[in-house]
Amino acid sequence: MRSISARFLYSALLFALVTLSCASLIAGKVWVPWSAWFAVNDDPLWVIILELRIPRTILGVAVGFALGVSGAALQGYTRNPLADPGVLGVSALAALGAVMTLFFGVTISSPWLLPLGAMTGAIGGVAVLLLLAGATSSVLTFILAGAILNTVASAGVALALSLSPNPWALNEIVNWLMGSLVDRSNSDVFISIPLIALGCGLLMMTARALDALTLGDMGARSLGVNLAATRLLLALGVGLATGASVAATGVIGFVGLVTPHLMRPLVGARPGALLIPSGLAGTVLVLAADIIVRLMPSVVEIKLGVAMAVLGGPFFLGLLLVLRRRLG
């Protein structure tokens, strides 16, 4: 990508991000006019801004960036256009880890155990995925490995739901699994943002290795890339970023699958150069979807995870059909 094109792309993405962030702070069932922003002590709407809209917007930006970067990093490492934390079961195992903390009720006394459980599940999911898939870059192998992880995680979640000790825990687990930014607080921001930032930072460190891996494992080794270290950085980075995101908002799928494909024609074939644009596109996608679901004329706000599934499902199907024609 030429430098002028890079500047234009980043400028466009940042402009969209700032515009949607402002819209996210204003739009909703209760609209917050600009006048409320200048009446901190007098306007009761300021409570909505401070306690609901600001945490919701910050988490939307952070989660969108984390999922976008994670998807781009997984696709670059595996050389697989279908790689994504949700499709490959990483998000499902993160959800399973978090559900276990909700099931046993340990989050009441120790809220930090929920993100810990989610990150443990996500890191374990990436490690098992790489182990199951081996050194091959076959699309079929990774899809089957992801299907295995999704099946195991879904069975664990179903078991937790069936053995739920009380209706309150059951309802909390079901609502949380559908993924949403509703009623998120500043404490969610303070817990998740440092972990997401650390995970994304680790994934950024893999950019050079991802570019080298386009030449294959042998070619990357000849360029001095430590594949074991790259695999560790990838597992920790995706685990921290995805796990903290799932812990904060529940499961929001397809962001990491869609955004790299939207950005790749604009960025080019270098996986390392795709990381940041995919992250920024992820923030734009999540914020736009969240604004749409809160403005829809329904009694109960549609869950963001459900809305993303409606968008990502047809995209995933279309991508599979394109790949089948190419392979055929």
Query: Angle 62-65-71 (CA atoms, 0-180°, nearest 5)?
Result: 135
CA 85 to chain centre: 7
Most confident of 18-32, 179-193, 269-283: 269-283
Residues recorded for the chain:
328
C-alpha span between 221 and 226 (Å, rounded): 7
Per-residue confidence (pLDDT) for residue 2, from 0 to 100: 47
Query: Angle 49-50-52 (CA atoms, 0-180°, nearest 5)?
Result: 70
At 103, the pLDDT band (50, 70, 90 cuts) reads confident
Q: Which of 74-83, 298-307, 315-324 has the lowest mean pLDDT?
A: 315-324
Label residue 154 left, alpha or beta by phi (over 0 means left) and psi (-120 to 50 means alpha): alpha
| Residue 299, token pair as written in the block | 């009694």
Contact 280, 10 (CB under 8 A): yes
C-alpha span between 224 and 315 (Å, rounded): 37
Domains of the chain as residue ranges with CATH: 3-327 (1.10.3470.10)
Per-residue pLDDT at 3 exceeds 50: no
C-alpha span between 273 and 73 (Å, rounded): 10
At 56, the pLDDT band (50, 70, 90 cuts) reads very high
C-alpha span between 308 and 250 (Å, rounded): 12
C-alpha span between 56 and 65 (Å, rounded): 14
Q: What is the mean pLDDT of the chain?
A: 83
Per-residue pLDDT at 28 exceeds 90: no
> Which string of DSSP letters, residue by residue, matches 197-251?
HHHHHHHHTTHHHHHHGGGHHHHHHHTT--HHHHHHHHHHHHHHHHHHHHHHH--
Other residues' Cβ atoms within 10 Å of the Cβ of residue 265? 7
C-alpha span between 100 and 113 (Å, rounded): 10
CA 162 to chain centre: 27
Tens of pLDDT, residue by residue over 114-167, are 888 888 888 888 888 777 766 555 556 777 777 888 888 889 888 888 887 777
Per-residue confidence (pLDDT) for residue 39, from 0 to 100: 66
More confident residue, 288 or 170: 288
